[in-house]
C-alpha cells in the first residue's frame, strides 16, 4: 500500500471535563481520511511534566485559553509537516521536537505537540482503514522488532488491560476532603475485561451504599468520578472500600484489591522536608514515617499498588520505600517519572519504584510515550497507562493500552462520560478482538 501523507492540520479550542479549554487537532491525510485527537490536562501536575501552554489572557477563560497553542499548530507545525509520511510517526515526532527546540516543549506547547502527534496516528490508521489500536500495535511491534532478541520477553499485544478504578477521591480532585488523592480498586479475579468492568460497577455502587449507611456524603463525585466524602482520616477510605468489596461478595485480596494514589508531592512541604496531613488535621511526618504508615496499610488492607507514595524529588526516600515494599506491592512513579525516559532511567539506577504511570501529555509526543513504555518493559517496571483528571471524549489511551500490552489502565470512575468514553471503547475493542482477546492478569 502506498503510504498516505499528511495533507494538513486543523486545530481548535474545545473544552475538557472541568470546562477548561484544551487543544483538539484534526490531521487530514492525502487520501482524505481524517484523524482527530483531544489533549487531556492534569490538576495534580508534577514539576517535571512537559509544559502545557495557556494564554494567560484574563479576559478569555480566566487566562486558561489555549489559542496560542492552537495558533502554533496552524502557523508553525502544519506547514513544516505537510507532505510527510503518516506511517512514520517517529519522523513526525522528531520534527515536532525540532520545531519546538526546548527541553520542556515550552515554545510551541506540549498541548500543541501532543494534539498533532496523536491526531497523526489516528489519520494514519484511518487512511489504512484500520482501528487505532491495530495501527498503534504495528508501531509497538516495530519498536520491539528494532530491539532484537531483548524484546522476546516483552508482550507484543494486543492485550486487554486490567482497570485500576477510582472509588474515593481526595486531595486536589475533591476539594481537599482527604490528603491522599485516590483509593482505587483492581478486580484481580476477573476472567476478562468485560467481567472486570461489571465487578467495578458493582463495587462502585456498593461504596455509595456503604457511605449512605454511615451517614456520609454518597452522591457528589470528584473530578474523576470517585465519591468525595469528608472522612475521619485517610484510612477510613480504605475501610469503606474493603467493606464495599465484601458487600459485593468479593474476597478482598483474591477477587479484588486496593490500589492507592497518594499523590504525596501535593502535600509535601519542601521547606520542612515533611508530609503534612492538613486536610484531615493530622500531623506533619517525615519520609521515613510515610514509609512506615504505608507499610502498615499494606499489612492491614489488601493493598497491591501504591502510586506516588513519596514526593517527586524525594529520591532517597523512594529507594528506601522500594526496599521496604517493592517485593510485595507495585510502587508506581507518576510525578516522580512524569513519563520521561530520562527520569525513569534515573529511577532504574536508584532502584526507585517498580512501575511507571504513563500519561501522554506528561511527555508530549506518542513516540516518547512508546520510549518510556519500552524502557519500563526492558527493566521489569510495569506500565500503567493513565488518563488525566481533565479529560474529554477522546479515547486514544484505551487503544494505546491495548496496543502496547501495558497490562493496566487507570481512567477514573464509571460515573462520568469522559471516563466512560474509554471504558466503552475498550468494550468495543474486546469485541473486535473476539476469541483472540487476551486479558492481562496481575497478581
Ligand atoms: O495523579 C494522577 O494520577 C492523575 C490522574 O488520576 O491526576 P492529574 O491528572 O490531576 O495529575
Ligand atoms: Mg497520580
Per domain, the residue ranges of the chain are: 6-129, 150-436
pLDDT of residue 255: 98
CATH topology of domain 150-436: TIM Barrel (3.20.20)
Residue nearest to atom 5 of ligand 1 (CA): 388
Q: What does the pLDDT look like over 83-106, one tens digit per residue?
A: 999 999 999 999 999 999 999 999
The one catalytic residue in 49, 131, 224, 235 is: 224
pLDDT of residue 176: 82
Q: Which residues are annotated as a binding site for (2R)-2-phosphoglycerate?
A: 181, 359, 388-389, 410
224 is an active site residue: yes
pLDDT of residue 175: 83
ipTM rounded to 2 decimals: 0.99
pLDDT band for position 386 (50/70/90)?
very high
Say yes or no to pLDDT of 280 above 80.
no
Q: How far apart are CA 6 and CA 124, in angstroms?
A: 9
pLDDT of residue 441: 79
How many other β-carbons are positioned within 10 Å of the β-carbon of residue 171? 26
351 is an active site residue: no
Centre of ligand 1 to C-alpha 172, Å, is 9
pLDDT of residue 411: 98
Atom of ligand 1 nearest to the CA of 387: 5
Grid cell 532511567 is found at 345
The one catalytic residue in 359, 391, 418, 422 is: 359
CATH assignment, 6-129? 3.30.390.10
Q: Is 389 in the pocket of ligand 1 (CB under 6 A)?
A: yes
Q: Is 334 in the pocket of ligand 1 (CB under 6 A)?
A: yes
| More confident site: 436 or 244 | 244
Q: How far apart are CA 430 and CA 119, in angstroms?
A: 23
Q: How far apart are CA 123 and CA 26, in angstroms?
A: 8
Please give the share of the chain, as a percent, with pLDDT higher than 70.
99
* Best residue among 386, 387, 392 to mutate for probing ligand 1, ranked by most atoms within 8 Å of CB: 386
pLDDT of residue 443: 62
Q: What does the pLDDT look like over 130-145, one tens digit per residue?
A: 999 999 999 999 999 9
Atom of ligand 1 nearest to the CA of 42: 9
Q: How far apart are CA 10 and CA 78, in angstroms?
A: 8
Centre of ligand 2 to C-alpha 8, Å, is 35
Residue nearest to atom 8 of ligand 1 (CA): 42
Q: What does the pLDDT look like over 216-267, one tens digit per residue?
A: 999 999 999 999 999 999 999 999 999 999 999 999 999 999 999 999 999 9
Amino acid at each position: 500500500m502506498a503510504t498516505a501523507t499528511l495533507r494538513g492540520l486543523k486545530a481548535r479550542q474545545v473544552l475538557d471535563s472541568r470546562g477548561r479549554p484544551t487543544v483538539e487537532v484534526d490531521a487530514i491525510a492525502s487520501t482524505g481520511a481524517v484523524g482527530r485527537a483531544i489533549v487531556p490536562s492534569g490538576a495534580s501536575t508534577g514539576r517535571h511534566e512537559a509544559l502545557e501552554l495557556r494564554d494567560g489572557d484574563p479576559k478569555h477563560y480566566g487566562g486558561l485559553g489555549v489559542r496560542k497553542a492552537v495558533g502554533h499548530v496552524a502557523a508553525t507545525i502544519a506547514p513544516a509537516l505537510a507532505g510527510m509520511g503518516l506511517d512514520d510517526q517517529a519522523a513526525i515526532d522528531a520534527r515536532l521536537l525540532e520545531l519546538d527546540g526546548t527541553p520542556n516543549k515550552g515554545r510551541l506547547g506540549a498541548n500543541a505537540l501532543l494534539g498533532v502527534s496523536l491526531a497523526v496516528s489516528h489519520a494514519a490508521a484511518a487512511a489504512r482503514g484500520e482501528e487505532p489500536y491495530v495501527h498503534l500495535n504495528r508501531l509497538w511491534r516495530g519498536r520491539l522488532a528494532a530491539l532484537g532478541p531483548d524484546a522476546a520477553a516483552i508482550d507484543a499485544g494486543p492485550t486487554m488491560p486490567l482497570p485500576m478504578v477510582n472509588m474515593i477521591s481526595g486531595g486536589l480532585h475533591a476539594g481537599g476532603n482527604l490528603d491522599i488523592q485516590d483509593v482505587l480498586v483492581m478486580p484481580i479475579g476477573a476472567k476478562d475485561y468485560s467481567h472486570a468492568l461489571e465487578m467495578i460497577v458493582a463495587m462502585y455502587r456498593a461504596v455509595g451504599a456503604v457511605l449512605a449507611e454511615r451517614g456520609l456524603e454518597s452522591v457528589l463525585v470528584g473530578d474523576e468520578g470517585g465519591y468525595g466524602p469528608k472522612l475521619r482520616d485517610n484510612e477510613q477510605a480504605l475501610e469503606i472500600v474493603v467493606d464495599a468489596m465484601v458487600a459485593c461478595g468479593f474476597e478482598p485480596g483474591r477477587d479484588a484489591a486496593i490500589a492507592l494514589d497518594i499523590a504525596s508531592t501535593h502535600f509535601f512541604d519542601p521547606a520542612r522536608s515533611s508530609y503534612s496531613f492538613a486536610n484531615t488535621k493530622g500531623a506533619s511526618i517525615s519520609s521515613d514515617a510515610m514509609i512506615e504508615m504505608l507499610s502498615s496499610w499494606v499489612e492491614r488492607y489488601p493493598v497491591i499498588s501504591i502510586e506516588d507514595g513519596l514526593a517527586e524529588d524525594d529520591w532517597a526516600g523512594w529507594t528506601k520505600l522500594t526496599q521496604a515494599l517493592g517485593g510485595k506491592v507495585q510502587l508506581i512513579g507518576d510525578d516522580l517519572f512524569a513519563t520521561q525516559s530520562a527520569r525513569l532511567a534515573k529511577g532504574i539506577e536508584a532502584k526507585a519504584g517498580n512501575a511507571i504511570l504513563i500519561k501522554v501529555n506528561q511527555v508530549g509526543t506518542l513516540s516518547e510515550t512508546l520510549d518510556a513504555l519500552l524502557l519500563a518493559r526492558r527493566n521489569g517496571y510495569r506500565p500503567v497507562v493513565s488518563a488525566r483528571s481533565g479529560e474529554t471524549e477522546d479515547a486514544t489511551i484505551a487503544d494505546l493500552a491495548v496496543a502496547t500490552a501495558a497490562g493496566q489502565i487507570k481512567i477514573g470512575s464509571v460515573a462520568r462520560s469522559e471516563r466512560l468514553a474509554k471504558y466503552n471503547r475498550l468494550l468495543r475493542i474486546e469485541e473486535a478482538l473476539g476469541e483472540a482477546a487476551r486479558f492481562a492478569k496481575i497478581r
